[in-house]
Structure 1
């Protein structure tokens, strides 16, 4: 794990450091006549901690890419929102200030409504089903390249967020009726706002990094996320009631500046794609292990995990599909995902 002290500098200082794009590595002894290898380091923004499966897998991604390209390309991961919250890093990648970032499906939904198809509660049956779809170019090629012209962003592929559920400060939510009037943090997207409203709660959009303090101070009554983020962000300390609503299987995307991606040679692009395949496969394995550990550790710290009235939550969420699948392109993606579950 390659962690440097620069992860802990203020975001402004971190952004100034991004001007240092590349460095040269000296040639091995005895090859003085050969030109030195020029290494380009891709800077990747992440909003999770160093213990999170996403950081571990992405750090390994850099090592794989460095080896596969004989030292020409590397990836440096900046965790803990060092380079900004997801909405900020999304813009920074498009501008070329940051090379890559992990952003949620809700963030890309704000750029293209077609991404809604993979954000809906009923689209994926399991993590395995999800990963088989979102990393399949036969399904995703047009969607993932659709932001290149207008936003200078290309989507590489997806990481699972696991099943997302609701956790609260004061009592478990065993049915939608238990959420009536409660302020629940959501990501800034029309779909997530409607999702929480459909459950009878009051959606409160805010950046991920602000959730702990908002729970602690009573600005919000709860939030929705997976078990891993719940524990690694220490939300269990201030919202000890985790209710298994499992309202959707969340999705993160790896995005890259389109110009940077296009700058890869054919050989290096093949190495990049191969390294990414190994990375999302590793992440999926790590996710299962991390979820089990997060539940165990959170319970040991006093959190409670409660089963809910699944039918009541499913009935409340069912209208969202017809409400948000309004375009043929969205329906095509949704149908392709559902068809994959039958194979």
Structure 2
């Protein structure tokens, strides 16, 4: 069988067997594993090495009718809730609006993953991708503003605020390497633990898994002992007692099963929002016809950012309903005086971030202005 037929055969097999192979989807929920679909994995490696024209991988019944096919590296398994509730609806909206001019097709891992998504899109392997700002490899000075603690928890407001900052030229210059289609803000990080935490003094010496430097600094100021552990090792570290607690959100609690080892949440403190980008290869965008760009541009910018951010807000509510109704989570609200102590203790994190770069104060002021504007209905 030649490479063309092997590829189409492998893709057809995978699509036909998706519903039968949910147990083979990786625990991280990031997509098909090479062990689940070895033939497709090897063929995709051949494609990304230049041995196979990538256009062959976008074969679908609709592709023959559309003028332009676009490969969307989602970084998500087809069955993932992020694909179903956020990326899929956006993709389908564009396809429907184009009336056959465009056909965007979702390509799950191993086509591209979170760690190489930026490179896959900028190199043209993928036309469109969904990537977290920390995984772009860019200087994260300005875009890390939303990762600061206590700034808010509304992901729609955060996503739109980021788009408006981008339009004002306040974010990283490196973003010009791609066509930015929109932003998203992931459900804010909160503190989860096996037993209740209601007072600041309980954090003294507590080993807390943390994802980045900003949250580590915040936890240190609160008296905890932050521990950096890769996400794919966090569940095991919690179950074995290597760490006592973890920062997380609804995604980690439900999708990644942290609910099995963490049953209490401090609800009133947000430890920051991670910004995500929906991006497109610059050349792929420029090569669209005027008519195709007109269609796509209607789904670029604030509209898409609102769509993604609002869906994230809805997911947060749904996750908490599930966790609380099942008895897997108890939510604790800090008394006003206690909340004030936590917020005051973390103030130096924001002060240090402002001092870290000359333009950071301007970025922070603009972010808060736009965030409040969106949150108030504008």
Q: Verify same fold: TM over 0.5.
A: yes
Q: Give TM-score scaled by structure 1 length.
A: 0.78
Aligned positions of 1:111-190 closer than 5 A: 111-124=139-152, 126-136=154-164, 139-143=166-170, 146-148=173-175, 152-168=177-193, 170-187=194-211, 189-190=212-213
Q: Specify the alignment match of 2:331 in structure 1.
A: 305
The question of whether the paired residues in 2 share the 8 Å contact of 1:37 and 1:72 is answered with yes
Instruction: Note the C-alpha offset of 1:338.
Output: 2.2
The question of whether the paired residues in 2 share the 8 Å contact of 1:24 and 1:36 is answered with no
Deviation string, structure 1 residues 258-289 (Cα, Å, up to 9, x no partner)? 34344334443332232245544333443343
CA distance in 2, matches of 1:154, 1:219: 42
Stretches of structure 2 that go unaligned for 5 or more consecutive residues are: 1-13, 19-30, 36-40, 374-378
RMSD, matched Cα: 3.6
Aligned positions of 1:67-86 closer than 5 A: 67-78=96-107, 82=110, 86=114
Q: Specify the alignment match of 1:212 in structure 2.
A: 235
Measured at CA, do residues 304 and 141 of structure 1 come closer, stay the same or move farther in structure 2, by a change above 3 Å? Answer: same
The question of whether the paired residues in 2 share the 8 Å contact of 1:105 and 1:119 is answered with no
* Structure with the bigger percentage of strand: 1
Q: Specify the alignment match of 1:45 in structure 2.
A: 74
Residue of 249, 253, 276 corresponding to 1:252: 276
Measured at CA, do residues 175 and 25 of structure 1 come closer, stay the same or move farther in structure 2, by a change above 3 Å? Answer: same
Instruction: Note the C-alpha offset of 1:323.
Output: 0.4
Deviation string, structure 1 residues 172-199 (Cα, Å, up to 9, x no partner)? 3324432333333333x43233233333
Measured at CA, do residues 96 and 26 of structure 1 come closer, stay the same or move farther in structure 2, by a change above 3 Å? Answer: closer
Deviation string, structure 1 residues 278-327 (Cα, Å, up to 9, x no partner)? 54433344334322221122121422222233222211221111201232
Instruction: Note the C-alpha offset of 1:235.
Output: 1.0
Q: Specify the alignment match of 1:198 in structure 2.
A: 221
Q: Which has the larger radius of gyration?
A: 2
Measured at CA, do residues 250 and 314 of structure 1 come closer, stay the same or move farther in structure 2, by a change above 3 Å? Answer: farther
Instruction: Note the C-alpha offset of 1:134.
Output: 1.7
1:90 aligns with 2:118: yes
Q: Specify the alignment match of 2:254 in structure 1.
A: 231
Measured at CA, do residues 123 and 50 of structure 1 come closer, stay the same or move farther in structure 2, by a change above 3 Å? Answer: same
CA distance in 1, matches of 2:372, 2:314: 26
Stretches of structure 1 that go unaligned for 5 or more consecutive residues are: 29-34
CA distance in 2, matches of 1:99, 1:219: 41
Measured at CA, do residues 42 and 224 of structure 1 come closer, stay the same or move farther in structure 2, by a change above 3 Å? Answer: same
Instruction: Note the C-alpha offset of 1:10.
Output: 1.6
The question of whether the paired residues in 2 share the 8 Å contact of 1:61 and 1:279 is answered with yes
The question of whether the paired residues in 2 share the 8 Å contact of 1:240 and 1:302 is answered with yes
The question of whether the paired residues in 2 share the 8 Å contact of 1:101 and 1:254 is answered with yes
Instruction: Note the C-alpha offset of 1:102.
Output: 3.0
Q: Give TM-score scaled by structure 2 length.
A: 0.72
Length, aligned pairs only? 329
CA distance in 1, matches of 2:98, 2:172: 24
Instruction: Note the C-alpha offset of 1:216.
Output: 2.5
Measured at CA, do residues 229 and 72 of structure 1 come closer, stay the same or move farther in structure 2, by a change above 3 Å? Answer: farther
Q: Specify the alignment match of 1:31 in structure 2.
A: none
CA distance in 2, matches of 1:296, 1:249: 21
Q: Specify the alignment match of 1:323 in structure 2.
A: 352
* Paired residue secondary structure (1:212): helix
